[in-house]
Structure formats: C-alpha cells, structure tokens
Amino acid sequence: MGSLQAPSGPAPTFDDVWRVFQETNTRFQATDRRFKATERVMKERAAETDRIVKDQSKSVGALGNRLGLFALVQSGDSVKIRNDARFAPKVW
C-alpha cells in the first residue's frame, strides 16, 4: 500500500486556490445552464406527449364503440374503460 506524501514544490497560494475556485465555478455555471435548457426541453416534450396520449385515448374509445369492443386505457395505476354511453358490446 502506498504512503501519502506531501506534494513536492511550493504550497499553493491563496491566489492559486482562488483561480481554481473561479474556474470550477465557471464550469459549474455552464453545466447548470445546459442542464436547465435540457430540463426545459424535456418538460415541453412531456407536455406534448401527454396531449398526444390523451388524443389517442379518445381515438381508442371511438374505435371501440364502432367495433363493439371494450376500449381499456391506463389511468395512473389503474385501467379505465374509454367507451362512451352509446357503447353497445358486440355479441359473439
């Protein structure tokens, strides 16, 4: 197992430490800006996906009505029947 040794050369000065801190802070700010931009895009896409899923859910209900089939869609942790009040199940 290696032993810990003090670095050779002069100890870093306050200015050296401050410069490294400023560089790290600048990189963090750039990364944070990119993260926030990505998060905004993801939220926009999630909202669009929710809209599409709701539209498709309505379409599935209409198709089920027309074919006489039950239209089941996911709703959170459960399932909902998307057929409307006019639905008449097909008899086999």
22-35 tens-digit pLDDT: 999 999 999 999 99
Q: Angle CA(40)–CA(50)–CA(84) in degrees, nearest 5?
A: 165
Task: Count CB-CB contacts under 10 A for residue 92.
Answer: 4
Dist. CA 88–CA 80, nearest whole Å: 17
Task: Count CB-CB contacts under 10 A for residue 24.
Answer: 10
At 27, list the tokens.
Answer: 């990189």
Instruction: Give me the residue label for tokens 């905004």.
Output: 40
Chain centroid to Cα 63, Å, comes to: 30
Instruction: Give me the mean pLDDT over the 12-40 stretch.
Output: 95
DSSP structure class, residue 91: P
Element (H, E) at 52: helix 14-67
The reply to whether the predicted model has a pTM over 0.95 is no
Tens-digit pLDDT profile for residues 50-76: 999 888 888 888 898 889 999 988 888
